[in-house]
Chains A and B, each alone.
Chain A
């Protein structure tokens, strides 16, 4: 019996089918931006608040009109612009006005005795109104984290000049799954050391009721 050649399958409509699928996926795709500001809430248990010297507190209050009031360095409170917040926070944290056992050898600030003693004692406190907008709140949070990151970057570069990177880069590299395990282990100690040197002491008061 003569061998019959199998008829070729017509592939002309393949492109159409593929286009259809392609368009479906194009439409359903949402490139998710999964990034944000990580924070930790305080546990709810009641403990007596520790006694803190007033000069160690950098008190930011945001009112219902999204204005910022800053009470720090012994003044009675001044209205500041949000763009000045980062600079002022860095100056406050870096002040190093402490003497004796509170002295801060690594601080490079003005050593104003009216302002914070050292990195560990300095506390940033934030209070907002219930009518404050979320956008302002995030901006304030962002600026305060930026102030901490700026100082941590500086100290990281000073402490480990051979790595040639800042704290933020190191932290990014640490959380990157592509970094090898041995690199991670050595980075972890360094990151922890800087975190201990400049802890994020950031407290949030419960918001005020606006009338």
Chain B
């Protein structure tokens, strides 16, 4: 009879964690593939305005980024007026021409006509700064621009 006796109070078998590394590796590979390393460290606040009539940006390597906004809390000594950031540094509007020239030089000849300037501007910036940037871009003939926005309907707030 003891053959059919249920085991009672036996120790629970340990849950096998042998497949745990596999699962973690799978997640790891997903994040490795999906990761885009930030090119620049932002020194300014950059909360983008919302828009819904957006178009996808072209290839990443054909984009030139210009950031603008108030200096972030770590750079309070720069004041509270909106500033421009090119690459990793605060810059003035007059430095845009040199920045665009340097970016153009680093690209292949056949890619140059497709270069787009992305304006990544904080939503609380005044238009004065943005128009100065646009004037400067017109001077160096970098006419294709893109206002980077966050997805969402701009009207219902």
Cβ–Cβ < 8 Å partners of B49 in chain A? 134-135, 138-139
Residues of B bordering A, CB below 8 Å: 17, 20-21, 24-25, 27-28, 31-32, 34-38, 48-57, 60, 116, 118, 121-128, 130-131, 134-135, 137-139, 141-151, 154-155
CB distance from B15 to the nearest CB of A (A): 13
A-B contact list, 11 entries, CB within 8 Å: A22-B28, A25-B28, A25-B35, A28-B35, A37-B51, A44-B139, A83-B155, A129-B127, A133-B123, A139-B51, A142-B53
Contact of A41 with B145 at beta-carbon distance under 8 Å, contacts A15-B21, A26-B31, A207-B128 already known? yes
Determine whether the beta carbon of A39 is less than 8 Å from that of B145.
yes
Determine whether the beta carbon of A142 is less than 8 Å from that of B38.
no
Which residue from A35, A130, A138 sits with its C-beta under 8 Å from B56?
Answer: A35
* Complex CA–CA separation, A43 to B48 (angstroms): 27
CB proximity to B under 8 Å, residues A105-143: 128-135, 137-139, 141-143
Is the CB of A32 closer than 8 A to any CB of chain B?
A: yes
Determine whether the beta carbon of B124 is less than 8 Å from that of A134.
yes
Cβ–Cβ < 8 Å partners of A47 in chain B? none
Total residues of chain A contacting the partner, CB 8 A: 50
Determine whether the beta carbon of B56 is less than 8 Å from that of A134.
no
Contact of A36 with B154 at beta-carbon distance under 8 Å, contacts A25-B31, A26-B31, A134-B130 already known? no
Which residue from B53, B124, B150 sits with its C-beta under 8 Å from A149?
Answer: B53
Determine whether the beta carbon of B127 is less than 8 Å from that of A134.
yes
* Complex CA–CA separation, A25 to B29 (angstroms): 9
